[in-house]
Structure 1
């Protein structure tokens, strides 16, 4: 960090999510974006010019070895997360890594092991977990406002159509609906209920062998159930609902970055709970960046909002779903979930 406490960021990859994150990052007064890396110098230079970043690298290793970078945001497709984040951790950088965190649990465990061995901070970029309104919802549920949670429902689907060459259809890039979109409904359910005790799933697969749409039923020993759905063949409502023994909370379209939710309590009128306008636009990614910088200043090796054990638990569930639907990626070797 700089002498005045600013955190120096490096951006690894130059795609759409990297641009969205960097645009929010440059607006934070205690953040400084000092470097960007891509597989090509041309892409890195164009990204650097767009956001006023002083250093542009045409390879990942140069960014990882840049001692003036405190933390690297890894925004590659998830098939490259293990390699990119691992390189940065081994070089001594802290890491914020996009979701899905890795292709599978084995890769995730390797990254967590590297972070702990090198005493570096590591966090999955699950921005939903850092969203103030989602945190308020979680607190209300933990306080028993709707009683004991019985069911969770959540969906995330994009209309497409996506051609076979698109990354969402490419097995080599970890394509399919589950890792790109289904990670949100699964993570939402596990935020409230923890890791499920059983997983059932069905899917429609593409000719390339990735899931076009997947539905899963997660169950817990408490008797709670979660129904989650993801798709790259139809635009869903992207809504969520949590039903308890004494009420229900409904989250409208865009459940993972809501501007409000509706609290239904038995015997009372529905209550609309709004996001605080001071927290910025609902699409803002700044909350995860703020949490990373808070943790780094506090000397924490992981975030209590996005704990590594929680990330590993979500990866185990995603592995279990893929086992049920029969999706494997090229060269992937892992134990059955």
Structure 2
């Protein structure tokens, strides 16, 4: 892998645009191709970002030998097919979250990548953010003692009409996969896979979750109270409390600008993120981790490990079981 990493972008929606804009503000990167289901959409995106090649099919992008890594930015209902196609063609893949619709699909992708020795990473950008990495360091160093509680929420006001993808079970609709993946991943980052999962939800007429509350438990005695909603603009904050202190993130915990460490008998300590020049959306950190791995010949990222992605998907599956949400891809229950 040369110093310059050549990217292909699969899909042309808002998240693809944000990621591409951040890539183009980074050194030693080049976005060389974009693909969509329609050539017109791909050409429009290519013109917007001055990308040399536009494809009207995913297959053409996957077959492009001048692409080192593909960023899969489709809705998560298409992640299994899109990422699998690129892996089969020998491309490294950065796949948006939620990684897939269920843990079975996730295991298939991970198995495919590992069998081929190909790089694969979930685009859980907050795991690569310097402040989240600093959080992990502080917790690991015992700054707040043993973790007892984690709290996190992510909600949008809505409403979303019946024709929106967030109301469609076939597209993995609902609050959980779009928004709940962030609080669940935050808890996993600190405590790993839970030993117990409880949940309750308000479901739509279509059978997807509109408002979901989760209580995760660990044998260590720690618990996490998490929520996701597409019916309410929640605080979007997070906190982790331990036997010797707590750490609090203000609104936007998944893309933080700061957090505060509180310990008894000490003044609160504020940690802030350095503002990297020329970046727009905070997605440069995950892109940098992908490129570091590729240049080092690594097929998995230690910051966003595939085993961790699989664990999160198992937890999301467990939540859906508790609240009674099933997608067509899940098949008939045993």
Q: TM-score range by the shorter chain?
A: over 0.9
In the TM superposition, residue 281 of structure 1 has moved relative to its aligned partner by 5.8
SS in 2 for 1:317: helix
For residues 188 and 333 of structure 2, what CA distance do their matches in structure 1 show? 22
Structure 1 counterpart of 2:255: 257
Aligned to 2:227: 229
**Do the aligned residues in 2 keep the contact of 1:219 with 1:225 (CA within 8 Å)?**
yes
The 2-side partners of 1:194 and 1:250 are apart by 19
Q: Which one of 7, 15, 34 corresponds to residue 13 of structure 2?
A: 15
Within the candidate set 80, 86, 89, 2:87 is matched to 89
Larger RCO (alpha carbons 8 Å, 6+ apart): 2
Q: 1:64 & 1:219 partners in 2: Cα distance? A: 41
What does 1:290-305 correspond to in 2, within 5 Å? Answer: 290-305=288-303
Q: Which residue of 2 aligns with 1:58?
A: 56
Q: Which residues of 2 match residues 1-337 of structure 1 at below 5 A? A: 1-2=1-2, 5-278=3-276, 283-333=281-331
* Separation (CA, whole Å) in 2 of partners of 1:61 and 1:170: 26
Aligned equivalents of 1:152, 1:281: Cα separation in 2: 30
Once the two structures are overlaid, the 10-residue window that deviates more, 200-209 or 267-276, is 267-276
Q: Please say if residues 258 and 282 of structure 1, whose CA atoms lie closer than 8 Å, have aligned partners that are also in contact.
A: no
Q: CA RMSD in A?
A: 1.3
Report the Cα distance in structure 1 between the residues aligned to 2:264 and 2:167, rounded to whole angstroms. 45
Post-superposition CA distance 1:236-278 (Å, at most 9, x none): 1100010000101010000011101011001112111111224
Shift of the alpha carbon at 1:31? 0.8
- Contact 2:25–2:279 at 8 Å: present in 1 too? no
TM-score, with length taken from structure 1: 0.97
Alpha carbons of structure 1 residues 94 and 129: separation in structure 2 relative to 1, 3 Å: same
Q: CA deviation at 1:283?
A: 3.3
Q: Secondary structure at the match of 2:216?
A: strand
Measure, in 1, the Cα distance between the counterparts of 2:331 and 2:25: 42
Q: Show CA shifts across 1:283-304 (max 9, x none).
A: 3100000000000000001000
Q: What displacement does 1:167 show?
A: 1.2
Which ranges of structure 2 fall in alignment gaps of 5 or more residues? Answer: none
Query: What whole-Å deviation, never above 9, does each CA across 1:304-326 have from its counterpart, x for those lacking one?
Result: 00000000000000000000001
Q: 1 CA distance for matches of 2:117 and 2:244?
A: 44
Assess if the C-alpha contact under 8 Å between 2:155 and 2:236 holds in 1.
Answer: yes
Cα 1:36–1:281 shift into 2, 3 Å = closer
SS at match of 1:163: coil
Distance, in Å, in 1 between the alignment partners of 2:63 and 2:37 is 15
Structure 1 residue matching 2:312: 3-state secondary structure: helix
Q: Which runs of 5+ in 1 are unaligned?
A: none
1:56 aligns to what SS in structure 2? strand
Separation (CA, whole Å) in 1 of partners of 2:208 and 2:187: 23
TM-score normalised according to structure 2 size: 0.98
Structure 2 distance, partners of 1:334, 1:133, is: 42
CA shift, 1:150, in A, is 0.3
Give the Cα separation in 2 of the matches to 1:6 and 1:17: 23
